[in-house]
Structure 1
Amino acid sequence: MELRALILALATLLLSGVNAQFGFFDQMFGGQQQQAQQQQNVRSDSSWYQAQYENAHCDKYLCPGTLSCVHFPHHCPCAWGVEDKVELGEGIAVCASKGGYKEGETARKIELARKGLL
């Protein structure tokens, strides 16, 4: 009786070792396939964004680009760190790609464009 229990215990141990070994390979190779599937393009419909916007709680102004809650629309932050925010006056602000290495370069270029010089 004890011999059967010992054989059963050894068989269980061996099978769990085999499972762990193949589980490791699944993680190494099968996991990459799962990861590739997760890196697919996002859907082109806007239902996810609309749901996020509708579920956001804000008692002031909800920025459409960042879902930040601010006092005024022109206080909305830029969505990306590679953008500079430029206030055009009259409560209007735009975010534009950084225009160079100097501070204020984006604002300068936008002002030149507004004057028709760029």
Structure 2
Amino acid sequence: MITSRLAFLWALALLQVAHAQFNFFDQMFNGQGHGGHGHGQQQQPQNVPSDSNWYRSNVENMRCDKYLCPDTLACVEFPHHCPCQFPGIEDKAELADGQRICVSRGGFKDGEAARKIELARKGKL
């Protein structure tokens, strides 16, 4: 039961990532398509190239006088205030060294991921 629920949640997470990725490109190109030849045929989506120029240029153009979260590009007071990338399916846990981690809920009930992190921190898991 748990494994089928976990598999379902994993598939759902992958679908959300894919949906967000395609929405980003539609917004980036103002919904004008992807430069097709105009023959009425829809082009297949292309893989994102292995090039970090887009990320670097966005980071360089961000205005943040505090801490810029490297994974979400949120501007916050402290690193442990950074939000999770997927708050709908992840729980945030703050570590003793002032950092934070985001942990997949994995189909557990609310607060279960945080409880397991605390058990692991105490060496009981």
Query: 1:42 maps to which residue?
Result: 48
Q: TM-score, normalised by structure 1?
A: 0.64
Query: 2:76 maps to which residue?
Result: 70
Matched, 1:89 2:125: no
Greater relative contact order, per chain length (Cα 8 Å cut-off, separation 6+): 2
Query: 1:112 maps to which residue?
Result: 119
Query: 2:67 maps to which residue?
Result: 61
CA distance in 2, matches of 1:46, 1:95: 23
Q: TM-score, normalised by structure 2?
A: 0.61
Q: Which runs of 5+ in 2 are unaligned?
A: 1-37
Aligned length: 87
Query: 1:52 maps to which residue?
Result: 58
Structure 1 moving runs of 4+ over 6 Å: none
Specify whether residues 45 and 116 from structure 1 end up closer, same or farther in structure 2 by C-alpha distance, changes over 3 A only.
Answer: farther
Residue identity matched to 1:104: G
Give the drift of 1:117. Answer: 3.3
Give the drift of 1:47. Answer: 1.7
Tell me, what secondary structure is at the counterpart of 2:48? coil
Structure with greater helix share of residues: 1
Tell me, what secondary structure is at the counterpart of 1:49? helix
Considering only CA atoms, is the larger Rg found in Structure 1 or Structure 2?
Answer: 1
Q: Deviations over 1:60-111 (max 9, x none)?
A: 1111110011111110000113111011234221111114432211111112
Q: Which runs of 5+ in 1 are unaligned?
A: 1-24
